[in-house]
Chains A and B, each alone.
Chain A
Amino acid sequence: MTDRPGLSYASATILQALSAGYIYGYTAMEATGLPSGTVYPALRRLEGDQLIRSQWERPSAADAALRPPRRYYKLTRSGETALEVLRKRHPLLAKLAPNEEVQDV
């Protein structure tokens, strides 16, 4: 299904944030201004709908930086298609500035 009528505006904003390079849960929170209690369940729901997929960061990269590994999220092909539809419906989504600090994970 490409039109995804069930996706809320919050889910659309999160999809747009991930697409703009805010690939971690907390950075997506910062970009969208949504609270953690909204963002993390939404990420799980979107992953369940196969619009995004998540993966843990490589332990070697995290160990080298002396920090715990993080889970990052990426849009799937159907997620990108859904986001295209949502952008037409919510033109303000495009105003979300892309993240210029996207790291290679």
Chain B
Amino acid sequence: MTRAWLPHAILRAASLLAPSEQRAEWLNGWRSELWYIPPHRAARFCLGAFRDAIWVRRNSERPARRTAFRFESPLSCLAFLTFAATVSGAIVVCLPAPDTVGMLLIFAPTLLPARLTIGWGASRRRPAPWPNRLRRGIFLLLKRALVQPVMLCGFAAMIRIGPAAALPTQLANYALWFLTLRWALSDQRNRCPVCLRLLTEPVRMGAPSQTFLEWYGSESACSRGHGLLQTSEMPASYSAAPEWHRLDDSWSGLFPPAAEVRQR
């Protein structure tokens, strides 16, 4: 018996990997092709859709999203985290958590400094001034300190519901821990090392089929014109870490003045 729903279900699941703005067109193309496939080969044919959807996601240009949760300036990012930490702290105090100090000790190692690989190639040749490095370090430390109450709040809430579902609670706890730290680090990597604003205007560079002595990936720019961050999508010995290219003053005419950027 041929299960006719299975190929369509596979395509529907694979379509979730495709970018949302191209999903309908992508799904339409695959469904159209599916019509011509013999039923006994349809499911196997549709399994390739996952790889295709991943390819489309990796290689399509996505417009930069400007949402309420995109904090371009470092101050707005820290202000939001302070607010979230305050609310989370209040919730933790209200919840009858068993051992708050013990939980704080669990999260303490997440405050340890992490080595960021941004711009290692460039920094070896021309290291950033120490005030910039100090400011970046303080910003990262503050972010990681301010996410602790949020993680603690999640942990306390999970302890409350833990007896009902122990394993899912533990998994959710690890996921929360991992995702929060991942956000803190990826946010740091996507910021200008000079002004700590989020990098904008990502553009694709290179072609995936031409990687012989070349690279392909994306390039983002600081909105104040401090530099460009080039990130390779295929790590190689010469492009393993994102590379920061500082722009000198001769480029300043291409970027809006700082006052205008501050209003965004």
Contacts and interface: CB of A to CB of B under 8 A. Distances in A.
Query: Does chain A bind chain B?
Result: yes
A1 B50 CA distance: 32
B33 A70 contact: yes
Interface stretch (A41-49, A73-81, A84-92, A96-104): A41-49
Nearest to A5: B212
Interface in A10-67: 11, 24-26, 29, 35-41, 44-46, 48-49, 67
B29 interface: yes
A36 B52 contact: yes
Contact of B210 (A40, A44, A49): A49
Nearest to B204: A48
A66 to B, nearest CB: 11
Chain B interface helix/strand/loop/mixed: helix
Contacts of A1: 210
B59 interface: yes
A7 interface: yes
Contact of A48 (B44, B45, B59, B214): B59
A41 B55 contact: yes
B37 A26 contact: yes
B48 A36 contact: yes
B48 A37 contact: yes
Given A6-B212, A7-B209, A49-B210, A70 B51 contact: no
Interface in B88-111: none
Interface of B: 29, 31-33, 35-37, 44-52, 55-56, 59, 207-212, 214
